[in-house]
Amino acid sequence: MNKVFTPRFIFVISVIFVAAISRLLPHLPNVTPIAAIALFGGTYINRKSLAFILPLIALFISDLFIGFYPEMYAIYLSFALTVGIGFILRKKTNIATTITASLASSIIFFMLSNFAVWLSPVYAYTMDVKGLTLCYEMALPFFRNELIGTLAYNVLFFGAFYLAKQRFTVLAKS
């Protein structure tokens, strides 16, 4: 079998693309698998280039259906940074490190996406500290939802992968 298309790779990519498709289903605002896709891919896709490219492609495909928005660059940047956090997580993946990585990715997403919202003329925040503070304050409910989604999806993805590895040893690191 090809060194890239291992059973492990196929399992991880399947999780990522199914999760990306789930963005198209009805859900609470910001309770989506975006950060979890990036973290899971960064942790378990062995080739670093594919760890960045494949989750970004999955996100882009779902954005084709959802629609494009002015702050996409910030979302994709936070997504790429979360893949990088996944690279760090590879060294020691356990419950505590996965929760910490989930929190870090949610904070990065919150900071970058809302900074982009503040910069956008669409939302008319004043271009000063008061406007930036208001922007972040108004986004706190979305942050809560994003954090809930990230934690829930990471429990699902990392937990399913852990259980699958216990049952199918072919999924162990290759």
Give the span between the Cα atoms of 142 and 25, in whole angstroms: 18
Please report, rounded to a whole number, the percentage of residues in the chain having pLDDT higher than 70. Answer: 98
Give the span between the Cα atoms of 106 and 80, in whole angstroms: 13
pTM value is 0.88
Give me the residue spans of the domains in the chain.
7-166
* 47 in Cβ contact with 87 (< 8 Å): no
Q: pLDDT tens for residues 44-74?
A: 988 899 999 988 888 888 888 888 888 889 9
